[in-house]
Amino acid sequence: MDTILDALQEGRLFELPENDKQHSLQFLAHIIEAFPHIPPGIDIVGNILNREKATNTALGKGWACPHARADFEEDLMCVVGWSPTGIEYGAQDSKKVSIIIMYFVPANQRNHFLREISIITKILISAPEITKIDSITNLNGVRNYLLDLISGTKGTEGSDTRAKMIKLQAKSTLPTQPIGDLSSLIIEPLTIIVTPGLKATVLTQNADLLSLFQETDEIAKQIEVEGSYQNSIWRIMLRHTITYQGNNLLYECIAVSDTRTVSIKK
Please report which helix (H) or strand (E) contains residue 70, including its range.
strand 67-70
Query: How confident is the model at residue 17, as a pLDDT?
Result: 74
Between CA 121 and CA 96 the distance in angstroms is: 18
Is the separation of the CB atoms in 230 and 257 below 8 Å?
A: no
Query: How confident is the model at residue 43, as a pLDDT?
Result: 85
Is the separation of the CB atoms in 146 and 159 below 8 Å?
A: no
Calculate the alpha carbon distances from 162 to 9, 173, 178 in Å: 13, 18, 25
Query: How confident is the model at residue 246, as a pLDDT?
Result: 86
Q: Would you tell me how many other CB atoms lie within 10 Å of the CB of residue 264?
A: 10
Query: How confident is the model at residue 119, as a pLDDT?
Result: 87
Beta-ladder partners of 82: 15, 99
Averaged over successive runs of 10 residues, the pLDDT of the chain (266 residues) comes to 78 84 89 79 88 93 93 89 94 94 92 90 82 88 89 52 43 38 68 88 90 84 82 78 88 75 44
What 8-state DSSP symbol labels residue 109?
Answer: G
Query: How confident is the model at residue 175, as a pLDDT?
Result: 34
Between CA 248 and CA 242 the distance in angstroms is: 8
